[in-house]
């Protein structure tokens, strides 16, 4: 497990072990990757108001802004 140094202030630091993030499969191609998540805000259903969050590899994600990615289903260029 990797460790992170955390500054607690007043010259005090802590070393914290961080559990690695589990790798997910891309929703489009199925490859194992450090997934990006779809940022599209859902408007219907029980998850309305929350983001889609489908895991995507960097090749399958539709990059809209530096920190905004959509799955192909929610690509705003295709829905207009």
Q: Which of 2-6, 23-27, 52-56: highest mean pLDDT?
A: 52-56
DSSP reduced 3-state for 34: coil
Give the torsion sign (CA, 27, 40, 61, 66): negative
pTM over the 0.85 mark: no
- What percent of the chain clears pLDDT 90, i.e. is strictly above it? 54
pLDDT at residue 64 is higher than 70: yes
Mean pLDDT, to the nearest integer, of 69-77?
A: 84
The residues that bridge with 51 in the sheet, in sequence order, are 41
């Amino acid at each position: 497990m990797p460790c992170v140094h955390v500054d607690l202030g007043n010259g005090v630091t802590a070393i914290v072990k961080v559990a690695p993030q589990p790798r997910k499969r891309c929703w489009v191609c199925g490859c194992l990757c450090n997934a990006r998540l779809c940022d599209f805000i859902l408007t219907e259903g029980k998850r309305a108001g929350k983001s889609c969050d489908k895991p995507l590899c960097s090749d399958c994600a539709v990059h809209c802004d530096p920190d905004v990615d959509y799955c192909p289903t929610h690509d705003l260029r295709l829905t207009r």
